[in-house]
Structure 1
Amino acid sequence: MPGSIADRTNDAIAIRELLRKHPKGLSITEIAGALGLHRNTAAKHLDMLVQKGEADIRKVGTAKTCFLARRMPVAALLHFSLHPAVVVDGRDEVVMVSQSALDLLECPLEVLYGEKVQDLPYSLFTTPEFLERCRQAVQGTQALFPAATVIRGRRRHLRVHLVPVVFDTGKDGCAIVLIDETACREATGALEASRQQYEALTADLPGFVLHTRPDLTLEFVNESFCRYAGRTREQLIGFRFLPLLPPGDRERMKAALISLTPERPTTALEVRSVRTDGTLGWERWQVRGIFGNGGRARGYHLAGTDITELQQCREQLEQYHENMERLIAGRTTGIQEANRTLLKVLAEKEEIERELLFTTFAFDHASDSIILFDRDGRIYKANETACGLLGYGQDEILAVTIFGLNPSITARQWEEMWARAEPGKRERVVSVHRRKDGTVFKVEVSRTFVRFAGRMYFCSIAREVGGAERSKK
């Protein structure tokens, strides 16, 4: 008596789990023997799994080997895919084309349907490398790579995704999913050209030009302001604008920014400044708010000039109408005020330096090894505990990469970790580290990604557990 639907479903699940434990594959006889099924029953369940794209059957010599596959039913792919798709079978012939693919390739279905993929009139499909990747996708190996082709005289930049698929008949195929990045490439190029033109336009201006985020973090400064501030552009980008002003004028600037609206987006004000040589100066700033939908500020554009000489001329003109006593008193008051302002700035600077020194001390003397890696796997910074644990000096450890430090991490795993990087998300694992002398030892690692100054870093906080392994790798 045939089994129930639940029994058949359980048998299919059991076959899937068995194949998952044997990635190199099993024969139908081996599957039937391992699960206590009749060979014909096992073959029938395997046929259903093949039609659903969950299993593949390959002929190896005189035997057929079954193994798990990662295929998508072609009907589901064409229904849910947001990008143009061309489907080919095991004979390299085009058997299905989505309407969006016809629109992208700008041709009727007759030009593509039934043709060999290498015979299609597009340079993308004619290279031996592309044909080989298609055949590998039919065998179950997906691929994702950039490509370029010419369509009706226009060069298109595509990202090609080769997806292994299964037809309703159970036969294997490959879906060529075409992701058109032409508009994005052109927009990026135009944006870069505009940025270069803007930088060239503002580079030689005598005035100051700044762009900030809504929180007044500097995003752009021209060369004139860099020279005036006595700092490089790299030092200024990511710095807050308000700390560049004396404490008394920060509140005035805040109030001016709060008053900006889409209807009245600009304001101007004059503020004092302490020059790099310690003298008191004056600046005039024209501030324009950049607003998005809903009237929310997306940033600010600031154009400034040094009006110290103009302000000094004003003061001199006023002095002609005052007597000598008031002139001396006014000068004395100005100098005292300048000194107080300078002392406040110096006090703030000393406080920041003390906090920075304390943070550096705490980082270096932490009980755990703390190492920051950049995107390429190079060590960006390591504390003294890490150097002592691994046997490196502060200069030597900067030459070590993640792959030299942790032999269990491969380049592929590193790329996968960065592909799902999420700042602040922590992961605690037990792994291994390698000392300078080659000794490998177990560590308990807390991993996380952190973002600083627009860059992402991988943070590893490790603590040795157990005894060190004596093997050297």
Structure 2
Amino acid sequence: MKPFPMGEERRELVAIRELLKKNPRGMSVTQIAEAIGMNRITVARYLDVMRASGQVEMEPYGQAKVFFISRRIPVTAILDFFSDGVAALDREGRIIDTNRKFREVAGCRDTDLSGTHVAGLLSPLDDGGRLVDAIRRAGDGAEDYFESALSVHGENRRFFRVRFVPTVFTDSSPGSILILQDITEWKRGEEQMVAQRDLAWTLSAAQTLFEAMPPCVDTALRLSGMDAGGAYVADPETGVFELVHATGISQRFARSFSHISPSSPLGERICSGTPYYAENLKIGDEESMGGAFALRSYAVVPVYEGGQVIACFLVGSHIRDRIDPGSRKALETVAASIGNMIQRIRAQQDLRESEEKYRILFNNLDDAIFLHLIENGLPGRIIEVNDTTCTRLGYTREELLALTPLQINDPAYPGDLGEIMRRLLEEKHVFFEWAHLTKDGTRIPVEINAHLFTLRGEEVVISIVRDLRLRGGT
């Protein structure tokens, strides 16, 4: 299927497409050849390209093949609804077309990016030349997949899974599809889980709140990306908040705000129990304290225990005008982890829901996917499969988990499995064709994209298996 407009097309393709539009009942190869003055062999070749790209459809009528203009929904219309950024690139890495999400990621929502080199547009994604190398490899027909970071709209780094998929466009020119999957929330959740674990170990040895606050401030600053802050603890008798630990603040700030009265404007904000965020402050602003101390943004985040505010974080930044939602969440998570364990339970619940979403995606892919071990240099026991694998091969999941790939391979297939395994072990990735047998013995030609990685100390292979019958394989 043609994923993106390709700019100028061969006149012959345009002529065939326009002819079929005028003849909605369809035309044979001979009729098309006569109508546009072209030999049948050339017409047939163009029709093959147009079928592969989804522009035309074919139905057999006796010995003849009748071709119609495709009634499929344009992929470009669908791609604008994707949550991932998608761009079509030519062989040199110049942009042919993009979906809406990709333009948002690049900060060019209303700009036509056609002709722009993606390495220049998304240079922050490039990690040690990885992006340029991936473009080159995709131009040579090799798929690539990695994770990288990108600054978006002045926020902290956002994390992306970057994937290059080689393709051939409707004019037979090679290129690639670039897919950017935003995994920032997943990464931040992962970082927060690790940070909370480390913080829990530290807090387990703390005897007082005064001992607990310093590592909490350090964790809050690290997760939120802020560069200055302090921890205040309320005096049980007076209710005055005393500064017990500070990082990155000036001596003037420490003197001016060593104590915060609960009756002061700032103290009232703390005692309200609601986090407060001040942004876009200018030098000299008297927003309680922000601009007066060269802070461009700051946050006041209360800490609860037993239904009372017993402490707070006061953190700020000398360089950031905004406190993005991810940073706010990080600050509030650290604050709540001291007062109670509810947020931790919710985080675990969110993680389970996220895993369930990935499980649903895994099981609803059109390609069969299975993971297996390696034993004595050969494919070993299967340890996971998706629903497509079970449906295609006619086995239950339990049956497949008791097998190895060797037991579903067609033994008559003439491929060199030993050479394939050697390449996989050396290069960590191999792409090849094979044939599988279903439970009832039906032979299925397949295309296998296998990657080797380490899981819990063991070498594991993940194989993405495409049914070649869907595109005319034998």
Q: What TM-score comes out, normalization by structure 1 length?
A: 0.33
Considering fraction of residues, name the structure with more helix.
1
Q: What TM-score comes out, normalization by structure 2 length?
A: 0.32
Q: Looking at CA atoms only, which structure, 1 or 2, has the larger radius of gyration?
A: 1
